[in-house]
């Protein structure tokens, strides 16, 4: 098991390096150092200040080859190596406009993001599976048909509409929830209720349809017929036999989503003023802050790799027939 | 008896069409999608419009949708901001500038069609080319292509889109490019898998045995058997593309604010709904136009997949 985990981790090394290279190409090779400096200092910066900043940041060095340096440093003292080092060692630097420490911002932003995404994740999973079991129990009836229709309808509505209408009706008109804002500690709950509710509603359509497809596929298998033939009740079959066997595809979707909880939710955080990582990303995109964007893309890729690893490990826990090799 | 069987045999496409035609819901959705496509294409038909009279007349080039609304609703009047629906000549009301909401919703179709069409023109050739090359030739090329798309797939889709757009800047063409870059990965993976399987199939072996070259095998024997995957992934992917446009335009990295799209309509309307009394029709117009297309694409895409290749259901 440990050997497998180590090997799988090694597999992800080239991928992570690839993502670093990609962010380098995307954010550093596209803009000239001068354009980057002007972005940071503003349109009316003086030439001297721009030159100083370019030198301070090391943007005047060669991209992959530094002529001024000596010996081996010709290859290591370059913009490319600087960039890779920054990401791989988690030294993300400072934001372009406000000069805040990005590492600190990420650590601080993770908490509000998690308080939003973890309840959504847990409640969404429980609700999704119980509703899909319910629908699968009544399969091939009008109830089933209606449920699928509602699911497809829910999936086709833009997330923006859920948020705008939810905020307008429930918070502004009915005054059930605060419209905007966030507070630390126990008071966070008050502000998080509405975003969580909206996210659950938004996610339910796709989830229920997905779980239902998986459950129905299992119900068509031979072992279900055998169970029925030996006289087991529909409920025992559904909850004990089918649900257990449906866990593999459910796990794929669920475990893969866990690492992304750290990234928060772009739109919900932005609309409801929750100071998490999603909000930070949206602001960085609006300001064109390439340092923050590069850090977030890199973090996202790392978390994805982690999710893949967790998924593979969880398979063996769920299904003893699967051996790790 | 054998003769009858042979006469009954239909091609994959004829068989799929026969199954689709029996599905009444899918046919309704196909009609809705066709209507959207037609409305979108009308936005490309140029019309010459004469302004003024006599010597001072100038000729303006506008499109058919502009022309139709000019004739039926009349020119935009700034005095008429926030006219509620069903009052006077504005069926769905107007926005802050006095622009007819129905006009904006119809203009949004054109943007959506450009978005879907141009994105498809980028990602389908990319996905097909790399997928077939990787699947058919294998070896080092395969490793390289799989490495590139696995790397891209590591970055969460929406984050990749935002990153690309923040580098390229706002705009419809840039958005199509960014979506093309993010969309080819999924298609390439499917095409590669199918090509791997087809390469070993009996009929390809037979073609090779009678001396068909690589090019002939790929173009005549493999490519036609991949088209159903392309069509399914395009139909189901189109809805994702228009939904993403709305989100990206709201964040401020989508199309320009001056481009009329459902995304810009929804983001403009965000502040208007909280006015007192609420101006809800601008939001409703954009959201409904988006919803109907996405719903039709989802339902039709599912039916298409079931008719052409039910194996693709489990992904």
ipTM: 0.87
Residues of chain A with Cβ-Cβ distance to B290 below 8 Å are 158
The whole-number pLDDT of residue A51 equals: 82
Residues of chain A with Cβ-Cβ distance to B152 below 8 Å are 22
The whole-number pLDDT of residue B315 equals: 42
Per-residue pLDDT at A324 exceeds 60: no
The whole-number pLDDT of residue B50 equals: 75
Which residues, 6+ apart, have CB-to-CB distance to A43 below 8 Å? Answer: none
Which residues, 6+ apart, have CB-to-CB distance to A104 below 8 Å? Answer: none
Alpha helices in chain B (DSSP H): 2-8, 12-22, 24-42, 64-72, 101-137, 139-154, 157-168, 172-199, 202-209, 214-216, 227-251, 262-273, 281-308
**From the list B153, B158, B163, which residue is nearest A266 (CB)?**
B158
| Averaged pLDDT of chain A | 86
Does a structural domain hold residue A221? Answer: yes
Q: Does residue A76 or residue B21 have the better pLDDT?
A: B21
Residue A12, min C-alpha distance to chain B (Å):
9
**From the list A15, A172, A213, which residue is nearest B313 (CB)?**
A213
Q: What is the mean pLDDT of residues B178-187?
A: 94
Element containing residue B62 per DSSP (H, E): strand B58-63
Query: Which CATH code is given to the segment(s) B58-312?
Result: 1.10.3720.10
Element containing residue B63 per DSSP (H, E): strand B58-63
CA dist., res. A98 & res. A96, Å (int): 6
Residue A29 region by backbone torsions, left for phi larger than 0, else alpha for psi between -120 and 50, else beta:
alpha
Confidence of residue B2 (pLDDT cuts 50, 70, 90): low
The answer to whether the Cβ–Cβ distance between A158 and B278 falls below 8 Å is no
Does a structural domain hold residue A167? Answer: yes
Which residues, 6+ apart, have CB-to-CB distance to A267 below 8 Å? Answer: A159, A160, A163, A278, A282, B247, B250, B251
Q: Which chain A residue lies closest to B297 (C-alpha atoms)?
A: A156
Query: Three-state SS for B31?
Result: helix
Does a structural domain hold residue A258? Answer: yes
pLDDT in tens, B124-173: 999 999 999 999 999 999 999 999 999 999 898 899 999 999 888 889 99
Which residues, 6+ apart, have CB-to-CB distance to B144 below 8 Å? Answer: none
Select the residue from A158, A214, A252, A263 to test the B interface by mutation, using most B Cβ atoms within 10 A. Answer: A158
Residues of chain A with Cβ-Cβ distance to B295 below 8 Å are 152-153, 156
Residues of chain A with Cβ-Cβ distance to B314 below 8 Å are 213, 217, 249
Per-residue pLDDT at A317 exceeds 90: no
Residue B245, min C-alpha distance to chain A (Å):
10
Q: Hey, which residues does A94 pair with through a beta bridge?
A: A101
pLDDT in tens, B25-34: 999 999 999 9
Interface of B with A in 237-256 (CB under 8 A): 239, 243, 246-247, 250-253
The whole-number pLDDT of residue B314 equals: 47
Residue A263: name the closest of A252, A274, A249, A250 by CA. Answer: A274
**From the list A27, A153, A267, which residue is nearest B247 (CB)?**
A267
Residue A94, min C-alpha distance to chain B (Å):
18
Instruction: Judge whether B54 and B61 are in contact, CB under 8 Å.
Output: no
Structure tokens given for A232: 């087991």
Q: Which chain A residue lies closest to B288 (C-alpha atoms)?
A: A157
Q: Does residue B193 or residue A248 have the better pLDDT?
A: B193
Instruction: Judge whether A204 and A149 are in contact, CB under 8 Å.
Output: no
Instruction: Judge whether B227 and B187 are in contact, CB under 8 Å.
Output: no
Per-residue pLDDT at B52 exceeds 80: no
Confidence of residue B4 (pLDDT cuts 50, 70, 90): low
The answer to whether the Cβ–Cβ distance between B252 and A285 falls below 8 Å is yes
Percentage of chain B exceeding pLDDT 70 = 94
A156 touches chain B (CB under 8 A): yes
The answer to whether the Cβ–Cβ distance between A293 and B166 falls below 8 Å is yes
Structural domains counted in chain A:
1
Q: Which chain B residue lies closest to A206 (C-alpha atoms)?
A: B298
Q: Which chain A residue lies closest to B267 (C-alpha atoms)?
A: A160
B51-B52-B56 Cα angle (round to 5): 110
The whole-number pLDDT of residue B233 equals: 92
Which residues, 6+ apart, have CB-to-CB distance to A87 below 8 Å? Answer: A20, A23, A294, A295, A298
Domain ranges within chain B, ordered by starting residue:
58-312
The answer to whether the Cβ–Cβ distance between A160 and B267 falls below 8 Å is yes
The answer to whether the Cβ–Cβ distance between B152 and A22 falls below 8 Å is yes
Select the residue from B112, B250, B301 to test the A interface by mutation, using most A Cβ atoms within 10 A. Answer: B250
CATH number of the domain where residue A226 is located = 1.10.3720.10
Q: What is the mean pLDDT of residues B180-194?
A: 94
Between A64-73, A140-149, A228-237, B224-233, the lowest mean confidence (pLDDT) is in: A64-73
CA A227 to chain centre: 40
Select the residue from B23, B160, B166 to test the A interface by mutation, using most A Cβ atoms within 10 A. Answer: B166
Does a structural domain hold residue A225? Answer: yes
CA dist., res. B112 & res. B127, Å (int): 21
Select the residue from B162, B240, B270 to test the A interface by mutation, using most A Cβ atoms within 10 A. Answer: B162
CA dist., res. B4 & res. B170, Å (int): 60
Select the residue from A161, A211, A213 to test the B interface by mutation, using most B Cβ atoms within 10 A. Answer: A161
Q: Hey, which residues does B224 pair with through a beta bridge?
A: none
Count of CA atoms in the C-beta half-sphere (13 A) of A251: 18
Is-above-0.95 flag for pTM? no
Does a structural domain hold residue A149? Answer: yes
Residues of chain B with Cβ-Cβ distance to A213 below 8 Å are 313-314
Per-residue pLDDT at A246 exceeds 80: yes
B181 touches chain A (CB under 8 A): no
Residue holding tokens 């990303």? A281
Residues of chain A with Cβ-Cβ distance to B299 below 8 Å are 152
The answer to whether the Cβ–Cβ distance between B162 and A285 falls below 8 Å is yes
The whole-number pLDDT of residue A188 equals: 79
Per-residue pLDDT at B8 exceeds 90: no
CA dist., res. B83 & res. B66, Å (int): 20
pLDDT in tens, A113-130: 999 999 999 999 999 999
Residue A285, min C-alpha distance to chain B (Å):
6
Per-residue pLDDT at B280 exceeds 90: no
Does a structural domain hold residue A38? Answer: no
Domain that includes residue A150, residue range:
106-287
């Amino acid at each position: 098991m440990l050997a497998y985990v180590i090997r799988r981790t090694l597999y992800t090394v080239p991928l992570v390096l690839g993502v670093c290279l990609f962010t380098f190409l995307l954010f550093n090779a596209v803009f000239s150092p001068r354009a980057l400096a002007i972005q940071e200092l503003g349109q009316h910066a003086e030439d001297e200040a721009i030159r100083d900043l370019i030198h301070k940041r090391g943007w005047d060095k060669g991209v992959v080859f530094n002529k001024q340096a000596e010996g081996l440093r010709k290859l290591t003292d370059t913009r490319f190596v600087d960039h890779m080092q920054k990401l791989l060692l988690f030294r993300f630097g400072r934001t372009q406009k406000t000069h805040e420490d990005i590492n600190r911002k990420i650590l601080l932003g993770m908490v509000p993001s998690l308080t939003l995404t973890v309840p959504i994740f847990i409640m969404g999973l429980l609700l999704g599976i119980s509703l899909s079991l319910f629908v699968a129990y009544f399969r091939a009836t009008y109830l089933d048909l209606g449920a699928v229709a509602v699911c497809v309808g829910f999936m086709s509505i833009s997330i923006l509409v859920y948020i705008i209408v939810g905020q307008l009706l429930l918070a502004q008109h009915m005054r059930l929830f605060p419209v905007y804002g966030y507070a630390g500690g126990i008071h966070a709950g008050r502000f998080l209720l509405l975003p969580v509710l909206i996210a659950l509603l938004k996610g339910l359509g796709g989830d229920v349809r997905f779980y239902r497809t998986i459950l129905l596929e299992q119900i068509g298998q031979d072992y279900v017929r055998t169970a029925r033939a030996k006289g087991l009740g529909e409920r025992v079959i559904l909850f004990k036999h089918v649900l257990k066997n449906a866990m593999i595809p459910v796990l794929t979707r669920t475990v893969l989503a866990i690492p992304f909880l750290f990234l928060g939710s772009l739109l919900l955080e932005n609309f409801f003023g929750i100071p998490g990582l999603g909000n930070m990303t949206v602001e960085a995109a609006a300001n064109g802050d390439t340092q923050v964007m590069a850090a977030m893309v890199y973090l996202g890729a790392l978390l994805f790799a982690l999710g893949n690893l967790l998924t593979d490990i969880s398979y063996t826990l769920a299904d003893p027939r699967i051996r790790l090799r | 008896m054998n003769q009858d069987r042979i006469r009954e045999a239909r091609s994959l496409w004829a068989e799929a069409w026969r199954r689709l035609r029996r599905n009444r819901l899918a046919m309704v959705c196909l009609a809705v999608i066709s209507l959207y496509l037609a409305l979108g294409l009308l936005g490309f038909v140029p019309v010459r419009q004469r302004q003024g009279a006599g010597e001072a007349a100038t000729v303006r080039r506008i499109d058919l949708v502009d022309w139709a609304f000019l004739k039926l609703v009349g020119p935009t009047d700034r005095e008429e901001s926030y006219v509620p629906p069903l009052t006077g000549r504005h069926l769905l009301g107007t926005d802050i500038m006095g622009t007819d909401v129905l006009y904006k919703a119809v203009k949004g179709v054109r943007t959506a069609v450009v978005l879907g069409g141009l994105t498809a023109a980028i990602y389908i050739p990319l996905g097909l080319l790399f997928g077939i090359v990787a699947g058919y030739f294998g070896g080092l090329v395969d490793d390289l292509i799989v490495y590139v798309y696995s790397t891209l797939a590591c970055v969460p889709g929406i984050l990749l889109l935002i990153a690309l757009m923040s580098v390229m800047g706002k705009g419809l063409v840039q958005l199509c490019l960014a979506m093309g870059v993010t969309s080819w990965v999924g298609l390439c993976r499917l095409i590669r898998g199918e090509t791997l399987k087809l390469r070993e199939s009996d009929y390809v072996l037979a073609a090779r045995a009678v001396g068909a070259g690589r090019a002939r095998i790929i173009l005549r024997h493999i490519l036609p058997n991949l088209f159903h995957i392309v069509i399914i992934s395009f139909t189901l992917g189109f809805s994702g593309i228009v939904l993403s446009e709305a989100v990206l335009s709201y964040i401020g990295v989508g199309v320009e604010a001056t481009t009329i799209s459902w995304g810009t309509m929804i983001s403009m309307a965000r502040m208007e709904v909280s006015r007192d009394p609420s101006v809800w029709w601008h939001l409703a117009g954009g959201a409904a136009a988006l919803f109907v297309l996405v719903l039709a694409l989802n339902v039709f895409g599912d039916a298409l997949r079931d008719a052409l290749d039910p194996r693709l259901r489990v992904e």
